[in-house]
Structure formats: structure tokens, C-alpha cells
Structure 1
Amino acid sequence: MAAVQTGSELFEQRWSTYDRILAGNHLFHRELYAELRKYLRATFTEPIEVLDLGCGDCHYLAEQLVVDGEVCLIASFTGVDLAAGALEAARENIRKALRQGTPTHFANSDIVKFVADSPQRFDLAFASYSVHHLTLEQKDQLVQHLAKALKPGGVYFQADWKFLPQEGKDDISRHARECDLPETLDTWRSLAYKHGFSSCTILDTHPHPDTGFCLVMQK
């Protein structure tokens, strides 16, 4: 009997697919991270503690956190992903976007479990197309734990699908059918208010508004 693969092993295998999607900017990662950069600069004036859920290799994030040679004001950075290979690249990529000596931590972990167990409190938690892999029950748990993991006034910033994508490549289509579980905007708002967030808003600047959205929850 074939051994049952763990979630980490499955994500490790599929990282090559994610990497091709990222390289082609098929999910508008460049624009989404640029929107995150603008949001950070408009919202925070002091260095912030950042948590990246499903951080991958941090390639686009690192690019967008540096503007005209100036790095973003980040007090510490924590990246979480199930793909251990991606985390190796993330360590090198994010270093270029942070001031020298900025503390960093990377965890090869399930994002819900990490947030539930983390003793650290964050100003910003960020997720880019990672939470749609979770069931509704897991999303509910994630928002519940985020409400405790964020500092007062902290922000959860998320990019997600409105509906299942139908890509031309077989492996991407198969992945979407088997693994993608997006929720409606009303569901996300319901989860936010259920767990005590003061606001849940949708940014209207998503580069592909018919298929995706940028959601912001604030404590």
C-alpha cells in the first residue's frame, strides 16, 4: 500500500506549479504586493511586526518592500509555509528588503496551527492566495486565532479568489478543483465580526476585480 502523503509533502511537490504561476504573474502578484506596499505606508508610521502566512519564497514581497533603494519599516518578519524548499529561498529574498539586523523567523508549518500556537503578537498578518486551501471550519479557526495574534489596531490583509479559477494547464486546473475552497465576501465579513474585528473592508483596487479581491480586517 502506498504511503499517505502529508500536507507538507503535497505542497512541496506543487511548489514548482506555484513558482511557474508566480513567474508569469498569472495571479497578479506584482500588483497585489504593490497594493500592500501602498497600504503599509498609508497605515503605519512606525516599524511593524509582520506575519506572512503562506509566504512562499518571498520574491514579490521583497521586491515591493524596497522603493528607490529604501526598505520598508519592518521591526520583525515571520514567514510560514508548508513548502520547506520555498522557505530556503525566502530567507535570502527577504533579507534584501529589510534593514540590516532585522529579526526574521521562518516556520515550515500549517498556517492555522502556527497562528494558534504563536506567543508573538503582530501588527500585520498577510496572506496571498493561501487561505483558499482551507475549509470553512479552518478559516473560522484562522480568523479566531488572528484576533488574538494581532495587536490592538493590528491588520489582517488578504488576497483571495471570488470563484474557482479555470486555467488552461492540466496541473493548475487539477489543483484548483482539488484544493481551492474560496468563500464569498459575506462569509469573510461574518467571520471577522464573529471574532471581534472592528472592521472588514474590501479594497477596490484589485487588478482583476471580476475574479479576486483584497480584504482587510482590522482589530
Structure 2
Amino acid sequence: MFPNVDWQIMMEQTWETLYMTLVAGVATFVIGLALGLILYITNESLLLKNRPIYVFVSAIVNVFRSIPFIILIILLIPFTLFLLGTMLGSTAALPALIIGAAPFYARMVELALREVDRGVIEAAESMGATKWQIIYKVLIPEALPAIVSGLTVTIVAIVGYTAMAGVVGGGGLGNLAFLEGFQRSQNDVTFVATVLILIIVFVIQFIGDRLVTKIDKRSA
């Protein structure tokens, strides 16, 4: 059915896609969570409100979140070359993947924290909790389902980013679909690569939904 598909190469490129998604996803979670917390606490009068810091961080997040990913990859080529010495391969795609996804996730974290009832924060403060205790014992646990749900959406977006990165030599299934499928008019290669990307997305969404459900049950 798929005469042009080299299954060994297809599996290798699948692992490259998974590698980029996993590494970029972990880095995005750490950086995005930190940025989201900064955005929230510097804009909340009950915590560490600091308008100049909020405006500065918010501007950075907005700039990188607004740049289309394919353009961001091109803009980051000098930085990637300086950092890694090459712009080709799955590892070389990581800086663009992380810089492209982290600001998006940061906004989702900020929105998740804003959904926490302000009365819960006031209650914790009245009981003598410090600012940092409120953050890691009240805010994060209360917002955890939304934080995990936002991470799932972001990782799914990262899978899409890896496909776009493949167009400029980033490796993975996107690179295979473009070079072997599109440029050589081998539609079966493009089809199989697309199906594998869809399977990855479905698995990520399933795992994310199950985690959110478990967290909701524990907090209920």
C-alpha cells in the first residue's frame, strides 16, 4: 500500500519528533510556569504587585507569542548557530520550539491562576500564610487542573511546531513529509507521516485529559 515508505526511516523520524516534543515540552513547562507566576503575582495586590516588572515581562511574552512560528525559526537562526553551531537537526530546532511555546503557555498559566477564587487567597493570608506559602500551597494546587490542561494544549501545539520546523531542516516527521513526500511527490510518505503525527497528538491529549480528571477527583 505504501511503496515509497521506508519504515525504518519513518520510525527514526518519529522518535526525533517525540524527542523534540518531550524536551521542548519539559522546558516549556518550567519556563512558562515561571513566567506565568511572575505575571500573576506582580499584578496581584495581595501578593507582590509590581507594575513595572509586570509590564516588562508581559511585553516580552506578547512579542514572542505574536510572532508566527515559521518566522521565529528564521529569526532565531543566528542564535541557534551561536548556541549549537548548526541549524539542522532535531536538537537545533529546540531553541525555536521552546521560545515559541513558553510565552504561549505562560499566558495560559496566568489565566489559570486568575481563575482561583480571590477569597481563598485572602483566607490563607488571614491564617498567617506567607506570600510564598500562598503561591505553592494555595495558588498552584487550586489552579493545577487548568495548568495541566493548558500544558496539554501547549504540547499539542509543539507537535505542530515540530512539523513546521521540519520544513527548514529541523528533522522529525515534518522534515520527512516535506523532503521525501512533498518535494518528491511521494504522497504515501506524506500520508503516513501525517497519520503518525495525529496518533502522537491523540495520545498526548488522552494522557492530559486523564491527568486532569485524576487531579479533579483528588481535589474534590
- Pick the structure with more strand per residue: 1
TM-score of the pair, normalised by structure 2: 0.27
- Pick the structure with more helix per residue: 2
Determine which structure has more spread, i.e. the larger CA radius of gyration: 2
